[in-house]
Structures are given as structure tokens and as C-alpha cells.
Structure 1
Amino acid sequence: MVIWGDDSTGKDPALIDEVDAWWQKWHAAGKVVRGGAKLDSPHVARTVSRGADGQPVVTDGPYLELKEIIGGYIHLEADDFDEAVAVAATWPAIAAGYTVEVRPIVG
């Protein structure tokens, strides 16, 4: 079960169900890895957010506002960085206004 803070979006049962399904899909595909690792520099990051048309938009660099915090991270196994960005673009919470930052792992 995914639980966000006190905002009303995080309490949306339909969104929580979508996120749970996302975890199940990518875990079954062998893309989600349990555990954590050191993240690479923010300078090589890409940010995936909702565009004006509601579709995911990929931007070079970490463009999260200072008021935003990282609530957690997902360690993905991908064939390359572009595949990791493509998987991140399917995160259901992007449509609700959440942002995903994608970084390679060092080492």
C-alpha cells in the first residue's frame, strides 16, 4: 500500500490502487529492485512531470521546487537510461501532479 502525506490526492483510493498495480506490473517484469543505492549527481537527472495536455513531459535536470521533498525512491533495473525514463513516465501519480526524477546509480 502506498501512502502519501496529508494532501487529498494521496488519499484517493483509485490513485492508490493504480500505484499498487504499477508496482506489481514492474516488479513482475523484473524492473523494480528492492533495496537502495547511492544516486548519481543531480546534473545527470531527468525529471518527468505532467504537461499542460496531461501527458508526461521529460526535462533534463532536477527541477523540483525547494518546497518539494523526496518521499522515497524506486530502484529500477533497465537496459539503459532511456528505458528507465520510459518506465518512470508510466508512474500513475504523475497524472495527479506528482513529479518523478530519474537518475542513474553510481557504480
Structure 2
Amino acid sequence: MRYAMLVCGDMSAWEKRVAEVGPRDGEELGAWFAKWGAAGKLAEGGAELEHPRTAKTVRLGGDGGLAVSDGPYVELKEVVGGVILLEAADIDEATTIAATWPGVVNGIATVEVRPVRAE
């Protein structure tokens, strides 16, 4: 079954970590993707997202028309930074995989795991 792993965190904590650790952080992420890719647990798809300040939000405006605004829908400290699709037998296995995400291990991210609706 397929599961979406939503990687969330405080952008300022992420930026601080990258400034402190530098390229090593990328090596940790590369090792994570190599490990779970080789195990056949990464599904096709997924993406790292740009900074929330680059977002646009579309909603129904008060006049009944569409309103487009800059930034995410809600001002939050913690934002979704990426989506990874996993192949796992069940949500427990998907959660076990998600628990090894470097950002979780380093204390700068949380990961939400959700089943992907079958088509």
C-alpha cells in the first residue's frame, strides 16, 4: 500500500541547521533515500517544496470570486517542506520508516504519515 510522508518543520530551525551543518545534512538525506530506495520502500513521486514565502493560496473570496494571496493559507511556525511517497505493508511499517527521517532524528522536523487513497 502507498503512504504519503509529509515532512514538516520550522523553516527557521531548518535554515539554522543547514547553516551550522552544511553539506553533511545533504549526505544524511542522501543516505536515507539510498537505504529505503534499495529496500523498495520509496514509491515513484514526492518532492521537496520551496520556501513557504514562494507560495500562493487560492480561495473563494467574499464576493464569490476567486482570491489569490501570497504565502501559505495560515501563518504557522511549522510548515510542510516536502512529500515522500512510501510503499509499505501497513501504516505501522510506514511509520517505522518515517521515524528514521534525519530531520526527526535531529529534532528539527516532524513527519505525518497518511495512507494514499486507492484509485
Give TM class, smaller chain. Answer: 0.5 to 0.7
Report the residue type matching 2:97 in the other structure.
V
Distance 2:42 2:114 in 1: 14
Q: Pairwise CA RMSD of aligned residues?
A: 2.0
Distance 1:34 1:86 in 2: 19
Greater displacement, 5-14 / 86-95: 5-14
Q: Does 1:98 align with 2:106?
A: no
Partner of 1:81: 91
Q: Which has the higher strand share?
A: 2
TM, length-normalised to structure 1: 0.62
- SS of 2:32's equivalent? helix
- Is the CA contact 1:94–1:100 (under 8 Å) kept in the aligned structure 2? yes
Residue 71 (structure 1) aligned to one of 72, 76, 81 = 81
CA distance in 1, matches of 2:87, 2:110: 20
Output the TM-score relative to the length of structure 2.
Answer: 0.56
In 2, Cα distance between the equivalents of 1:15 and 1:73? 18
Where in structure 1 are there 5+ consecutive unaligned residues? 37-64
Runs of 4+ in structure 1 deviating by more than 6 angstroms, as ranges, are none
Whichever of the two has the greater Rg, that structure is: 2
Determine the C-alpha separation between the residues in 1 that align with 2:92 and 2:29: 21
Matched, 1:21 2:31: yes
Unaligned runs of 5+ in 2: 1-10, 47-74
Deviation per CA, 1:21-55: give whole Å up to 9, x if none: 0001101111011225xxxxxxxxxxxxxxxxxxx
Asked if structure 2 preserves the Cα contact closer than 8 Å seen for 1:15 and 1:93, the reply is no
CA shift, 1:76, in A, is: 0.2
| Conservation of the 8 A alpha-carbon contact between 2:42 and 2:86 | yes
Percent identity over the alignment is 49
How many residue pairs get matched?
A: 75
